[in-house]
């Protein structure tokens, strides 16, 4: 073990500035992953400073150490089991009273040495708050240091203090803990006496703390004690606990955990009286004033809709420019490869497999960057919490609260980050429910499919039809939400206080980091999956190679070449370009026919014939079926696969429209296919994310099955219903 190694954990309320301070300390030397077994993000960084090897851990943001949420359990278990040398509690000085709830609990834990950072001290000062840091330090017997995280003020000193504390040989101090009323203290010491003999060595628990937790019936502690205590001691302890809980219950006419919580708040109120004062000429809280407008009952909602509209507007209009550049870049690269390589399978793989697939994803990068920038802006200014607040009532229709709205909103952009965003929900059930209904929010990759189908079959009414599709997705999400809430995921939504953190002017750097963090994940996931998927689809449509065609295509092409060579020789100079164009068009036609035959005979074609009966009742032919199947890789691929199967080159082009009209598809069938695309299994990247975020293959399969079943039934009902009432 390295003599100079020190582990420092950062704890604190959400938004207290942990990550900011973590970034200040570790810079870029970070490792981001998940805590083992759960989907709570773990950030770890290592630096060498002041002659020590420091390992810094950014613990999940929590308000207390009760095991009510995964975050709380993760943070608490980490402190108990890993016993970091120092825990720095990042206190939000502008919210001192609330922060102290966690601070006192950390102090009670009694294992690690604790240090308080009074962060956001600039905000506190601006609001006219005065905090007596020395007094606070004295009362809780913990060193206290003021910081301004976003300006990197005091962070270096904080770190130095933490190191001093870590290397000093004073044990974590044992007195001046929260003191409870006499009855409770008596109960605590009774249990403590029973526990102490068994808790000397390997146990992670401080006996007093464990006793308090037993009185509170803390499920994690109760579950783990059997591994620490011998059976007879355990039995004695548990029966003692039960009788003590009963006594307290009778005396206070309240669950002991509630009494203990009340007493902690009482203790905190006492501390507040001693250390906190606010100047009489306190500046009017600007946040509250802004909130008067933005969360106003009447104008709050229109403003919110406007912001969302502006976000999508910005995403698509501003994003269109770089999208064009990337498109022409990809096109140029394809042309270059076409020119550089001789005709071969490898060239075909590069152009029609890899470049077509990956290229179709890369073009969405600008949109995604802009979308995530806007979302980071909403988050960092504090507006996102107001959105959640505004949507709360509506979301209750589904049995969810406003916070679930954020993932669903992001779903319109891309389901991958949307499913990830569900992490912010406290309750496991809420999180699951949100993840299950988010895929019904029509993601941006499905839009090209609607544009092609609605544009072809509905002409001027295309816009309305697409709007109806989006609306249908929302309705299905609401209905599914209600359904799950009353069956699989029964239970009331977890009670929770809607946080309204103060508005802040965002820092560009932090906006960019947030934006890039998310986009990077997107690129990595989509990039890998898309690459593999594109190659598979390409291979399925390229093999087996057709060797005997029904027509002699090469001969037909040679014939065209010869015919035009003759015509060109005879024509006038000014007619040459027109002839040249005519020639290449006719050649293309033959090539397309040849490619179509190849595809129809390929594995893909065979699969298409195999699955045709599944899609026939929905009015979708085998080509549509194969395209939908390919869409599992990414929804963009639906359009390009249709292009391949109808043997046209550019996707979304006039040629595809003509081919679709000729294929015998009716408007009703097109509508049915759009519904299917809207509702059926999300893309493979989303499915993988669902697996990761729910940590359960079962729920992943459920999501896949449910969405696809709903899609089939809805398309079936619409298609056959439409035919019954005489729509074609
Ligand atoms: P976490 O949830 O605890 O990780 O909080 P973050 O580190 O993400 O910080 C939340 C927001 O507070 C960010 O926008 C920071 O830039 C901002 N912030 C952090 N520390 C301070 C501070 O001392 N003063 C002010 N005014 N803002 C801060
Ligand atoms: Mg954070």
Query: Which atom of ligand 1 is the closest one to the Cα of 119?
Result: 23
Strand partners, 9: 57, 87
Mean pLDDT across 150-156: 92
CATH assignment at residue 25:
3.40.50.300
Confidence of residue 664 (pLDDT cuts 50, 70, 90): confident
504 Cα to the center of ligand 1, angstroms:
9
Closest CA to 416 of 451, 445, 448: 445
Atom of ligand 1 nearest to the CA of 120: 23
Q: Quick one: 267 and 306 in the same domain?
A: no
Nearest CA to 489 out of 404, 390, 406 is that of 404
Tell me the C-alpha distance between 445 and 370, whole Å. Answer: 15
User: Quick one: 456 and 567 in the same domain?
Assistant: no
Are 59 and 107 in a shared domain?
yes
Residue 116 φ/ψ, nearest 5 degrees: -100, 135
DSSP for 259-272 reads HHHHHHHHHHHHHH
CA distance 298 to 292: 11
Is 653 a residue whose pLDDT tops 60? no
Tokens of 287: 């946040």
Q: Which residue among 247, 278, 309 closes a domain?
A: 278
pLDDT given for residue 329 in this prediction: 87
pLDDT, tens digit, 9 for 90 and up, residues 156-184: 999 999 999 998 877 666 655 677 877 88
Q: Is 504 in the pocket of ligand 1 (CB under 6 A)?
A: yes
Q: List the structure tokens of 275.
A: 């250390």
Which stretch, 154-168, 286-300, 318-332, 572-586, has highest mean pLDDT?
A: 154-168
Q: How far is the CA of 393 from the centre of ligand 2 (A)?
A: 28
In the predicted structure, residue 445 carries a pLDDT above the cut 90: no
- Say how many C-beta atoms besides its own lie within 10 A of residue 490's C-beta: 10
C-alpha span between 81 and 111 (Å, rounded):
10
- Quick check: is 233 in a domain? yes
DSSP per position, 566-630: HHHHHS-GGGHHHHHHHHHHHHHHHHHHHHHHHHHHSHHHHHHHHHHHHHGGGT--HHHHHHHHH
Query: Do residues 142 and 242 both lie within one domain?
Result: no
Pocket test for ligand 1, best of 149, 377, 508, 513 (most atoms within 8 A of CB): 149
Are 247 and 395 contained in the same domain? no
| Residue of 13, 14, 15, 378 best suited for mutating to test ligand 1, as the one with most atoms within 8 Å of CB | 15
Question: Max alpha carbon distance in the chain (Å)?
Answer: 113
pLDDT of residue 283 exceeding 60? no
pLDDT in tens, 423-435: 767 678 888 999 9
Peptide bond into 544 cis (omega under 30): yes
CB atoms closer than 10 angstroms to residue 51: 7
- Tens of pLDDT, residues 183-232: 888 899 899 888 888 776 666 678 888 899 999 998 888 888 888 788 88
Q: Do the domain assignments include residue 313?
A: yes
Indicate the residue among 601, 633, 668 that finishes a domain: 601
Q: What's the half-sphere exposure (Cβ side, CA atoms, 13 Å) at 116?
A: 29
Residue 523 CA to residue 518 CA, distance in Å, equals: 9
Average pLDDT, integer, range 41-63 = 91
Do the domain assignments include residue 54?
yes
Residue 15 beta carbon below 6 angstroms from any ligand 1 atom: yes
Do the domain assignments include residue 552? Answer: yes
Residue 679 resides in a domain: no
Both 333 and 442 in a single domain?
yes
Q: Which residue CA neighbors atom 25 of ligand 1 most closely?
A: 120
**Residue 275, strand partner residues:** none
Does residue 608 lie in a domain region?
no
Does residue 18 have its Cβ closer than 6 Å to ligand 1?
yes
Where helices occur in 94-253 by DSSP H, the ranges are 96-109, 121-126, 133-140, 155-167, 182-195, 207-215, 219-228, 231-252
Cα of 708 from ligand 2 centre, angstroms: 36
- Same domain for 308 and 264, yes or no, is no
- The predicted structure's pLDDT at residue 651: 46
Ligand 1 site-directed mutation target among 20, 379, 506, 512, most atoms within 8 Å of CB: 20
Name the residue with the closest Cα to ligand 1, atom 9: 17
pLDDT digits (tens, 9 = 90+) for 533-560: 778 878 887 888 767 778 888 888 888 8
Number of residues in the chain? 728
| Per-residue model confidence (pLDDT) at position 341 | 85
Using the mean position of ligand 1's atoms as its centre, give its distance from the Cα of residue 14 in Å.
9
Same structural domain, 127 and 188: no
Task: Please check whether residues 134 and 35 belong to one and the same domain.
Answer: yes
Considering every ligand atom shown, identify the ligand nearest to the alpha carbon of residue 21 and give its number.
1
For 582, the domain range is: 544-601
Query: Which residue CA neighbors atom 12 of ligand 1 most closely?
Result: 17
d(CA 608, CA 586): 28
Ligand 1 pocket member 41 (CB < 6 A): no
- 15 closest CA partner among 46, 60, 56, 52: 60
Q: Compute, in angstroms, the gap from residue 14 CA to the centroid of ligand 2.
A: 7
Alpha-carbon span 437 to 484, nearest angstrom: 10
Write the pLDDT tens digit of every residue in 179-194: 787 788 889 989 988 8
Beta carbons of 111 and 31 less than 8 angstroms apart:
no
Average confidence (pLDDT) over 36-52: 84
Ligand 1 atom closest to Cα of residue 510: 16
Can you tell me the distance from the alpha carbon of 726 to that of 728, in angstroms, rounded to the nearest whole number? Answer: 6
Query: What single string gives the DSSP state of each residue in 191-216?
Result: HHHHHGGG-SSS--S-HHHHHHHHHT
Is residue 14 in contact with ligand 1, taking CB distance under 6 Å?
A: yes
Give the ligand with the smallest distance to the CA of 120.
Answer: 1
Residue 652 lies in a domain: no
Q: What is the pLDDT of residue 714?
A: 97
User: Does an H or E element contain 145, and which?
Assistant: strand 144-146
In a domain, 58, yes or no: yes
Give mean pLDDT, residues 392-408: 80
Residue 33's beta-bridge partner residues?
A: 42
Domain count, the chain: 4
Mean per-residue pLDDT, 90-105: 92
| DSSP β-bridge partners for residue 41 | 34
Instruction: Give the span between the Cα atoms of 407 and 418, in whole angstroms.
Output: 4
pLDDT of residue 660: 83
- Given 601, 635, 650, the domain boundary residue is 601
Helix H or strand E segment including 273: helix 256-275
CA distance 341 to 34: 44
310 and 424, same structural domain?
A: yes
Average pLDDT over residues 672-697: 91
Proportion of the chain above pLDDT 90, given as a percent: 25
Are residues 36 and 154 both part of a single domain? yes
70 with 116, same domain?
A: yes
Rounded-to-integer distance, Cα 699 and Cα 482, Å: 18
Q: How far away, in angstroms, is 147 Cα from ligand 1 center?
A: 11
**Residue 522 pLDDT:** 64
Cβ(146)–Cβ(133) below 8 Å: yes
Q: Is 19 in the pocket of ligand 1 (CB under 6 A)?
A: yes
């Amino acid at each position: 073990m390295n003599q100079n190694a020190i582990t420092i954990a950062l704890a604190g309320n959400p938004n207290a500035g942990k990550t900011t301070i973590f970034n200040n300390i570790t810079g870029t030397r970070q490792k981001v992953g998940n805590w083992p077994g759960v989907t709570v993000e773990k950030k770890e960084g290592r630096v060498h400073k002041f002659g020590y090897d420091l390992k810094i851990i950014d613990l999940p943001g929590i308000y207390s150490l009760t095991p009510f949420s995964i975050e709380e359990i993760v943070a608490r278990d980490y402190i108990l089991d890993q016993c970091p040398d120092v825990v720095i509690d990042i206190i939000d000085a502008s919210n001192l009273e609330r922060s102290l709830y966690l601070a006192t609990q950390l102090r009670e834990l009694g294992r690690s040495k604790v240090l308080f950072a009074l962060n956001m001290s600039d905000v506190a000062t601006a609001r006219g708050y005065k905090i007596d840091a020395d007094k606070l330090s004295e009362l809780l017997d913990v060193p206290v240091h003021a910081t301004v995280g976003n300006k990197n003020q005091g962070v270096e000193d904080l770190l130095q203090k933490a190191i001093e504390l870590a290397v000093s040989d004073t044990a974590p101090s044992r007195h001046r803990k929260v003191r409870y009323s006499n009855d409770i203290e008596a109960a605590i010491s009774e249990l403590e006496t029973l526990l102490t003999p068994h808790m000397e060595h390997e146990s992670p628990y401080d006996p007093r703390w464990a006793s308090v937790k037993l009185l509170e019936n803390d499920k994690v502690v109760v579950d783990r004690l059997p591994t620490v205590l011998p059976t007879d001691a355990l039995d004695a302890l548990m029966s003692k606990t039960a009788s003590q809980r009963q006594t307290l219950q009778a005396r206070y006419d309240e669950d002991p955990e509630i009494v203990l919580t009340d007493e902690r708040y009482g203790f905190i109120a006492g501390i507040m009286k001693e250390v906190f004062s606010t100047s009489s000429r306190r500046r009017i809280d600007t946040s509250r004033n802004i909130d008067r407008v933005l969360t106003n009952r009447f104008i709050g909602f229109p403003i919110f809709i406007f912001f969302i509209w502006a976000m999508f507007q910005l995403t698509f209009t501003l994003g269109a420019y770089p999208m064009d550049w990337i498109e022409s870049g990809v096109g140029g690269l394809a042309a270059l490869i076409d020119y550089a390589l001789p005709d071969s399978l490898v060239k075909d793989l590069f152009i029609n497999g890899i470049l077509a697939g990956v290229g179709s994803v890369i073009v969405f990068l600008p949109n995604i960057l802009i979308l995530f920038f806007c979302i980071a802006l909403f988050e960092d200014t504090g507006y996102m919490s107001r959105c959640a607040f505004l949507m709360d009532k509506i979301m209750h229709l589904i049995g969810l609260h406003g916070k679930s709205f954020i993932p669903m909103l992001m779903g319109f952009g891309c389901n991958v980050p949307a499913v990830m965003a569900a992490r912010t929900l406290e309750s496991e059930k809420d999180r699951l429910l949100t993840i299950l209904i988010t895929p019904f929010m029509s993601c941006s990759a499905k839009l090209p499919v609607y544009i092609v189908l609605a544009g072809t079959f509905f002409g001027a009414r295309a816009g309305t039809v697409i709007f109806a599709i989006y609306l249908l997705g929302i309705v299905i999400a609401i209905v599914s939400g209600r359904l799950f809430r009353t069956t699989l995921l029964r239970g009331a939504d977890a009670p929770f206080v809607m946080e309204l953190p103060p508005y802040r002017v965002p820092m560009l750097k932090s906006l960019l980091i947030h934006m890039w963090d998310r986009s990077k994940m997107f690129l990595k996931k989509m990039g890998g999956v898309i690459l593999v998927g594109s190659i598979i689809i390409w291979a399925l449509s390229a093999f087996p190679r057709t060797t005997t065609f029904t027509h002699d295509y090469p001969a037909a092409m040679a014939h065209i070449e010869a015919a035009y060579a003759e015509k060109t020789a005879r024509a006038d100079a000014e007619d040459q370009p027109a002839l040249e164009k005519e020639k290449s068009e006719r050649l293309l036609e033959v090539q397309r026919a040849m490619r179509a035959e190849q595809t129809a005979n390929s594995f893909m074609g065979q699969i298409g014939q195999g699955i045709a009966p599944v899609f026939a009742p929905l009015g979708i032919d085998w080509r549509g079926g194969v395209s939908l199947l390919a869409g599992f890789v990414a929804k963009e691929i639906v359009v390009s696969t249709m292009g391949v199967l109808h043997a046209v080159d550019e996707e979304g082009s006039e040629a595809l429209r003509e081919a679709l009209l000729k294929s015998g598809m009716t408007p009703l069938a097109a509508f049915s296919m759009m519904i299917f695309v809207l509702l059926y299994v999300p893309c493979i990247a989303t499915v993988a994310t669902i697996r990761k975020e729910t940590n359960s293959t079962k729920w992943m399969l459920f999501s896949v099955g449910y969405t696809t079943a709903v899609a089939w039934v809805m398309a079936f009902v619409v298609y056959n219903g439409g035919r019954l009432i005489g729509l074609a």
